[in-house]
């Protein structure tokens, strides 16, 4: 088995055997981790894995690794996570912020107040059954009225943009669930 330093040297020298071996050795664990942790689909994850490997190679070529405090595999996973968050931010920028009012829950008619309350109760129930992080993000944003910065701090997200991206995805899931119920 090769050491991380030997692998890094292989990357520096563009040793295809070492690069391909590292790629193959980490692919399954990377895909499983990101699938299970972030719920991403396989097509997305394969692209993400390739991008993370290219970035790893570039960082090695540019001498950006410095003194390693983790394994090369852990570094690759971290690169993948930051690439994923950057992709999510870009996706968010291409879409508009969705709000609960877009679910047509605000009825101005007084006779429909009871129906509105029933819808809100069902939405609350749907949100409470959503998996992490959606249930927490939606509850913090809409019920607790926390800012994106406060949510990012509490949930240990890298930025408010990461929270916005995740909130958008959660709202899409909520919208699908609400449409199925109503």
For the chain, give every domain's residue range: 4-94, 100-181
pLDDT for the residue 73: 92
pLDDT for the residue 116: 67
Percent of residues, the chain, with pLDDT higher than 90: 29
Sign of CA dihedral 22, 29, 44, 5: negative
If pLDDT is split at 50, 70 and 90, which confidence band does 6 have? very high
DSSP class of residue 139?
Answer: I
Q: In terms of C-beta distances under 8 Å and separation of at least 24 residues, what long-range contacts does 156-161 make, across chains too?
A: 158/82, 158/85, 159/85, 159/89, 161/89, 161/92
Give 144 or 32, the one with higher predicted confidence: 32
DSSP class of residue 147?
Answer: -
pLDDT tens per residue across span 49-67 = 999 999 999 999 998 887 7
- Rounded Cα–Cα distance for residues 128 and 139 (Å): 8
What average pLDDT does this structure show over 35-53? 89
pLDDT for the residue 16: 93
Q: Write the class of the CATH domain 100-181.
A: mainly alpha
The reported pTM is 0.51
87 burial type by CB count under 10 A (0-12 exposed, 13-18 middle, 19+ buried): middle
pLDDT tens per residue across span 64-105 = 887 777 899 999 998 998 888 887 766 555 444 444 444 444
Give 45 or 143, the one with higher predicted confidence: 45
pLDDT for the residue 180: 76
Pick the CATH number of 4-94 from 1.10.405, 2.60.40, 1.10.1400, 1.10.1740: 1.10.1740
If pLDDT is split at 50, 70 and 90, which confidence band does 146 have? confident
Lowest mean pLDDT among 70-79, 108-117, 143-152, 171-180: 108-117
Cβ proximity of 155 and 164 under 8 Å: no
């Amino acid at each position: 088995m090769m050491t991380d330093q030997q692998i890094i040297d292989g990357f520096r020298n563009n040793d295809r055997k070492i690069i391909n071996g590292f790629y193959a050795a980490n692919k399954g664990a990377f895909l499983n981790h990101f699938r299970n942790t972030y719920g991403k689909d396989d097509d997305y994850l394969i692209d993400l894995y390739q991008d993370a490997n290219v970035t790893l190679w570039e960082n090695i070529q540019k001498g950006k690794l410095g003194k390693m405090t983790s394994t090369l595999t852990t570094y690759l996973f971290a690169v993948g996570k930051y690439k994923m968050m950057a992709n999510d931010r870009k996706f968010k920028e291409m879409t508009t912020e969705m709000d609960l009012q877009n679910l047509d829950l605000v009825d101005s008619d007084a006779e429909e107040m009871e129906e509105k309350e029933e819808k809100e109760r069902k939405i609350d129930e749907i949100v409470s059954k959503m998996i992490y992080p959606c249930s927490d993000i939606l509850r913090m944003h809409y019920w607790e009225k926390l800012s994106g910065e406060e949510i990012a701090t509490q949930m240990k997200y890298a930025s408010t943009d990461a929270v916005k991206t995740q909130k958008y995805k959660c709202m899409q899931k909520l919208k699908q669930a609400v449409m199925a119920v109503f």
